[in-house]
Structure 1
Amino acid sequence: MLLNNIFETHKIAFMKKLVLPLIFALATLPGLADAACYASYKAKRDNPLKLHFGVAEVSDSQCTKAAAAKALSPRLEKAGWHLLSIVAMIPKDKLGEVKADAGDYFLRY
C-alpha cells in the first residue's frame, strides 16, 4: 500500500511537470499555424524581360515590407526571378481581392 501511494505521488508529479505543459503546447500550435502574413510583390526576369505580380505568404514576424522583401527575395531568386518591390502587406481577409490579379503567382513562392 505504501508503494502504491508513492507511485501515485510520482505519477501526479510527472503529470504536472511534463504531460500538462506538453498538452498546453500542442493546444497552442494551431494558433501559431495561423500566424501568417501576405505580401503582394512585383518581380522580373531578364533575357527576355518578363514581369509578374504575385502574392506570397510570409511569417507573422516578417509582416513589414522590409522583412517580407528579405524573406521573399531568396525564394524568388531560386526560381530565376528578381524581386523588384513589395507592393503591399495584405490582411488574410483581403486575399480574395488580389487572387485574380496574381493569377498563377498567387501563393506560389
Structure 2
Amino acid sequence: MGLGDTAQFYYLTSNIVKDNALVLKPEFTADTDTFRLDERLLRLAMIYRWKQDHQMDYAEAMADYQDALATTAGADKGSNILVVGEQRLPTGMEYAFPGTVVPN
C-alpha cells in the first residue's frame, strides 16, 4: 500500500444480544436482554434443535426454521462487496483498518 491509501475491512459481529439501553453484547446476561435478530427465528431454531437432540421427528420444525431464516435473510439486503464512489457508512461504524486502496 502506498502512503495515503485507505484500506477498509467490514466484519461480522459476535454481539448478538441487545440490552435495555440498546447496548450490544455477546451473550444474554439479564432477563430484559433481547436477541438482535428476529425473536421468532431464535424460537424456531431452539424448537427444532430441542426436538433433534431428543430424537424426535424434527423435520417440520426444521423446515419452519429454514423458511423463516430464508425470509429474514432475503429481507436483509446486506452491504456491497465493492463500493465505488463516495463513502457511505452507517452511524457508529468503525474501520478495522484505516487506509485507502486505489486500483492501478
TM-score relative to the length of structure 1? 0.25
Higher strand share: 1
Normalised TM-score (structure 2) = 0.26
| Structure having greater relative contact order (Cα 8 Å, sep ≥ 6) | 2
- Bigger radius of gyration: 1
